[in-house]
Chain A
Amino acid sequence: MITPNKDFRLNPSRALYVTGELNDDIVARLTPKILALQSQNRDPICVYINSPGGSPASTEALLNLLRLSDQDSTEPCRIITAVTVQAASAAADLLASGDYAIAFPKSKILHHGVRQLSGRESTFESTARLNEALRISNSIYAMRLAQRSEDRFTFRFYSARDEFAELRKRKNEPALGDYECFVEVVKEKLSPDAGKIFDKALKRAERYKALFASAASSSDLMSKAETTQQVQALIIKAIVDFEVSSANSASPTDFRFGGMRQLVDDFYILNEYLTGNTDQRLERWCTTFGRLALTREQEAEIDGITDETERSKKLVEINKPILQPMLAFFIAMCHALQEGENELSATDAYWLGLVDEVVGEELWNLRLLYEFEEDEEEKAESDGKENTETPVPESGTEVPAGT
């Protein structure tokens, strides 16, 4: 039985329509409507999007308005975003910022790097400043996109895990790791264009994984640092150490030629990764979805732990090494989306974790997880089937965490 849950359902009676360029005018036009919807009740607000993009500042202003609490500090209204035709540039960011993001089947989603329209005369100083500003903005927007979409990407990973056993069998590689399986499974589902973005992300992810691992060795020192500058200095040192270490020997860096630029890029990524409560986020995913990655033995072990805190700890212990490379990959992908023009179909965006659901497509989504309830008759019927289908992997089919 499907019991509709309003937190995941489009509702045109509580909707806004973001059409055309995203600018201050659209924010001004929508503000009274947003405030009126928020004052009616705290039900979700749907934001239908058909926009070529526009100003990131206006997009942030719109999001801040949508996330307003009230004078009683009530929880903000949940935001359901939906792209109907196109969501490009800043509009693609708006789409990904929804608590639940939906794409209509023929819609297009375009991500690209930050742009500057300038009619002024250029000097060495002005272009250097612009270059620096664009690079930093790209990095920050990529991290922001990652943070706004990482929950759905994590869910995508746990959902796709179901196909890993079949893939290992098909490739005759029983020891293929979770990360490698995920990459294969998703790549098979992407269009050729999205596959190219995916490949770029994979290349970046290899570097990030090594960099994060290298920086982890400085985490003790960082936790003892007393000022932000000290932490930042340790991050820079960790990057320099990584650059001259054997981990990076395949592509040695010359700091005179491009190395400093790489250092700055890495600094922003590491700073966000190490200081942006990554551990808490990882632990939250482990305790939320972690059960979906257990073998029979692990399940029995966890069920045998009576203390809830200890049980959560065990879930984190099992899942964290699996999720860490996934997070590095996702951050790499969000950076790859900031390079060049990256047009995605609705299904591509779904597989890359940028939307939760594609209307009319039979794909895994969180909505069904909330809405589906078996009635008694079906329960009995599927009980019969369950005996012939294996719901939980047997021991030995799983790969050690973190491989």
Chain B
Amino acid sequence: MSAQTAQRPTESTERANPSSRQEKELRDAVERVYRRYGTNLTAFYRDAHREAQKEQEKKVR
């Protein structure tokens, strides 16, 4: 059974803050896609999914 208790948590603003490395990598990834596709993420994901499918087919063979 799920049983969260009413034990008061320590008040916290703590979170899994991305490190500066992760943050830079993410910014770079967004920039790379933006340079290629502009704001048209639909086109980006269409190509990316198509590519992922191709990779999958290669593996199955």
Task: Report which A residues bind B (CB closer than 8 A).
Answer: 1-2, 7, 21, 52-57, 60, 67, 75, 78-79, 88-91, 97-99, 110, 112-117, 130, 133-134, 136-137, 140-141, 144, 147-148, 151, 158-159, 161-163, 272, 275-277, 284, 287-289, 291-294, 362, 364, 366, 368-372, 374, 378, 382, 385-386, 389-393
Contact = CB atoms under 8 A, between A and B. Distances in A.
Interface in B1-41: 1-9, 11-16, 18-19, 21-23, 25-27, 29-31, 33-34, 36-41
Contacts of A53: 1-4
A57 B33 contact: no
A390 B6 CA distance: 53
Contacts of B45: 362, 364, 368
Nearest to A361: B49
Contacts of A67: 16
B3 A148 contact: no
A55 B5 contact: yes
B31 to A, nearest CB: 7
25 contacts: A7-B22, A55-B4, A57-B5, A79-B16, A88-B2, A89-B3, A97-B16, A110-B2, A117-B3, A134-B6, A140-B9, A140-B11, A162-B42, A287-B27, A289-B30, A292-B34, A293-B39, A362-B45, A366-B29, A368-B45, A368-B49, A369-B29, A374-B47, A382-B43, A391-B37
Interface residues of B, number: 44
Contacts of A133: 6, 8
B11 to A, nearest CB: 6
B20 to A, nearest CB: 10
B9 to A, nearest CB: 5
A330 to B, nearest CB: 13
B19 to A, nearest CB: 5
A7 B29 CA distance: 13
Interface of B: 1-9, 11-16, 18-19, 21-23, 25-27, 29-31, 33-34, 36-45, 47-49, 51-52, 55
B40 A390 contact: yes
Interface centre among A21, A78, A161, A368 (most CB of B within 10 A): A368
Given A56-B7, A130-B6, A372 B39 contact: no
B29 to A, nearest CB: 5
A369 B6 contact: no
Contacts of A368: 45, 48-49, 52
Closest 9 CB pairs of A and B: A391-B38, A53-B2, A89-B2, A392-B38, A391-B40, A116-B6, A372-B48, A147-B15, A368-B48
A242 B29 CA distance: 42
A402 to B, nearest CB: 18
Contacts of B26: 288, 366
Nearest to B13: A276
A211 to B, nearest CB: 19
A288 B23 contact: yes
Interface centre among B1, B3, B13, B52 (most CB of A within 10 A): B3
A291 B23 CA distance: 15
Nearest to B54: A2
Contacts of A99: 16, 18, 22
A393 to B, nearest CB: 6
Contact of B47 (A7, A136, A293, A372): A372
Given A147-B15, A364-B45, A372-B48, 17 more contacts: A2-B51, A2-B52, A53-B3, A99-B16, A136-B8, A148-B15, A161-B39, A163-B42, A277-B13, A284-B23, A291-B34, A362-B49, A366-B29, A371-B48, A372-B33, A378-B47, A392-B40
Given A53-B2, A378-B47, A75 B9 contact: no
Nearest to A277: B13
